[in-house]
Structure formats: structure tokens, C-alpha cells
Amino acid sequence: MKVLLFGANGQLGNDLHKVFRAAGDTVVPLTHAQVDVCNEQRVAEVLGEAKPDLVLNTAAFHKVEECEKKPELAFQVNASAPMKLAAACQRSGAVLVHFSTDYAFGGYSKSTPYEETDRPAPLNVYGVSKVAGEDLIAYNTDRYFVVRVCGLYGIAGSSGKGGNFVENMLKKALAGDAIRVVDDQVLTPTYTVDLAEAVRKLVLSGKSGLYHLSSEGQCSWYEFTRYIFECAGLQANLSPCKTTDFFSPVKRPAYSVLSKAKLRGLGLSIPTWKDALPRYLKEREAKNSAAAPVPATV
Ligand SMILES: NC(=O)c1ccc[n+]([C@@H]2O[C@H](COP(=O)([O-])OP(=O)(O)OC[C@H]3O[C@@H](n4cnc5c(N)ncnc54)[C@H](OP(=O)(O)O)[C@@H]3O)[C@@H](O)[C@H]2O)c1
């Protein structure tokens, strides 16, 4: 399969690149510096040059607080660009995989996992712009996978968010900081390697449409943080707190767990968040020891 990848430098983009390449696909990775997905003409050019079977779009404007201040930019990157990309894919015959978010939900209360058939009710500009992107893709092509994901962490870290949650918590613990984490927001943290592998299998199923895809299980951010320190063998000064303890200009869902029943209906699965984290820490350790300077021999 020939694959064109937008947002190749991001944490999900990095792992999609590795997973598809390892499976024998030809991947053309494109970074933001090489192609801005908002540049319709440039996107058409690269599609025409590469003639991909599959386009993976991880590019997004997902700094949620910035999205509140710059709604036009949020809609440009998260809705208008995917719409144009979908139309270009439809013209060229490529299948489009686009990533959306658990922040599609939160506007009404639910305490069981959201199905793809549940009505979206985003609470912030980021969520609204991503849901608009989903609909505009479905309107412009019939060969698409829109994959709603949740709580991503991967070895490359999110360039948009300055690292990832696991790295930020480890850094604070090693610095001896007092760490307070909310225990009233429940989600599913998701390792981008597991996600990338599941995405490839989903594409190969040929059953296009809207999918929910995060690790299995659920936890609060506090429970996840406790597990990070347990797996890393760190004694940290960690305590739980409530969302209302911090001021934020952005509303976030209290519960945004995504049901994987539709995925399981295809005979596919993804590991649990508890299974994933130790594998991430191993990958991280291997990366850090490869980067460590070789001691001078006497
Ligand atoms: N991270 C999460 O927890 C999370 C949760 C739910 C959904 N998602 C969705 O999952 C997807 C992947 O997220 P991620 O965590 O992998 O993000 P990421 O690490 O920040 O990667 C996004 C990539 O897109 C690039 N990009 C941004 N704007 C672009 C533009 N206009 N044109 C071309 N490239 C652009 C970024 O490059 P620069 O940094 O150089 O701008 C970055 O390399 C996104 O669609 C996001 O909305 C993420």
C-alpha cells in the first residue's frame, strides 16, 4: 500500500509511520514544515505526485485553550482542511483516515462508554471544530475512516502540547514537585503504538466509516498518574483534586470513554491502558539508553 502521511512529526504520526513501514507499506511522511494541510493547492500537488492508496491525516490544531482564542484557525485546520482533503481524496481514489476526538462529547452526562451512534455534544471550540471536520469529511467522500481517539501518549511526544502527559508527570516527580491531579475526569489513556497497529487493521478491514478507538478500560487522570509512578517505581508527592480546584477557560468532559464495540464487531481489538503503559516505559527506557553517551574507556 502507498501511504501519504500528514502530521508525520507528531506523536501519533511517528508511530503510524513506524507501524505502516514495518508492515511493508511505502510511506511518504509529510511534516507541517513541508506541507500545511490548509494549503489546498499544495495538498493537491502532493496527492498528484505521490498517488497514494491511503492518506493518513493526524494534523490538527488541538491546544484547546488556544482554540478558544482563535476559533477561525481551529475551524481552518480541524474542519475546512479535512473537508478539502476529503474532496481531493475522493477525486484521486485514495482512502482517507482522519483522527477526531473524545472531546466530541461531554455536553450531556453519561457514565457508560460513548458509542459511535451517540449524539456529539462538544463543550469547547476544539471539540466543535473537530465534529464539524467529521461531518464535512463524510459529506465529501465515501471512502473514509474517521477515528475518534482519546488521551494519546507516544514516544515522540506531542509537539502541539509540549511533550505528553506521562513525560510531564515523570518530570515533576523527579523534580520532587507536589503533584495534584484531577480525579473527576474519566477517560482512557491510549498508547499511540497500539493505536497505530489497530488503525492499520481497521483500514485493511475495508469497512469504512466512523470509529471509536482508544485503549480498553477507563480511569481518572489521578488513577492514571498513580499507575505511572507505580510502574516507574517512583515515590511521588501525588494527591487527588477536583476540576473546580483550577481555573480553566475551557470546559472539558467529566467522562469521555469511547466504546470499542463497533471495532470488536469487526473481530479487532486493542490492549488495555494498564497493559500499554509498561510497554511505553520500556520503549522510553530503550530510547533513553540509546541516546546516553557511551562512557569513555580507560
Ligand atoms: N493528543 C491527544 O491526547 C488527542 C486526544 C484526542 C484526539 N487527538 C487527535 O489525534 C490526532 C493526533 O494527535 P497527536 O497527539 O499525535 O498530535 P501532535 O503530536 O501534536 O501531532 C500533530 C501534528 O500535526 C502537525 N500540524 C499541525 N497543524 C498542521 C497543519 N496546519 N498542517 C500540517 N501539519 C500540521 C503538527 O506539526 P507542528 O507541531 O510542527 O505544527 C504535528 O506534527 C489529532 O487529530 C488530534 O486532534 C489527540
Ligand 1 contacts CB of residue 32 (under 6 A):
yes
What grid cell was written down for 160?
502541539
Question: pTM of the predicted model, to two decimals?
Answer: 0.96
| Ligand 1 centre distance from Cα of residue 170 (Å) | 22
At 219 the pLDDT is 98
Q: Is 126 a catalytic residue?
A: yes
C-alpha distance across the termini of the chain, in Å: 51
Contacts of 186 (CB under 8 A, 6+ apart): 218, 219, 220, 254, 255, 256, 257
What is the residue-level pLDDT of the chain in tens, covering all 298 positions? 999 999 999 999 999 999 999 999 999 999 999 999 999 999 999 999 999 999 999 999 999 999 999 999 999 999 999 999 999 999 999 999 999 999 999 999 899 999 999 999 999 999 999 999 999 999 999 999 999 999 999 999 876 667 899 999 999 999 999 999 999 999 999 999 999 999 999 999 999 999 999 999 999 999 999 999 999 999 999 999 999 999 899 999 999 999 999 999 999 999 999 999 999 999 999 988 887 665 555 4
- Contact (Cβ atoms closer than 8 angstroms) between residue 127 and residue 68: no
Residue from 5, 32, 43, 199 to probe ligand 1 pocket by mutation (most atoms less than 8 Å from CB): 32
Contacts of 241 (CB under 8 A, 6+ apart): 180, 181, 182, 183, 222
Q: Which ligand 1 atom is nearest residue 37's CA?
A: 32
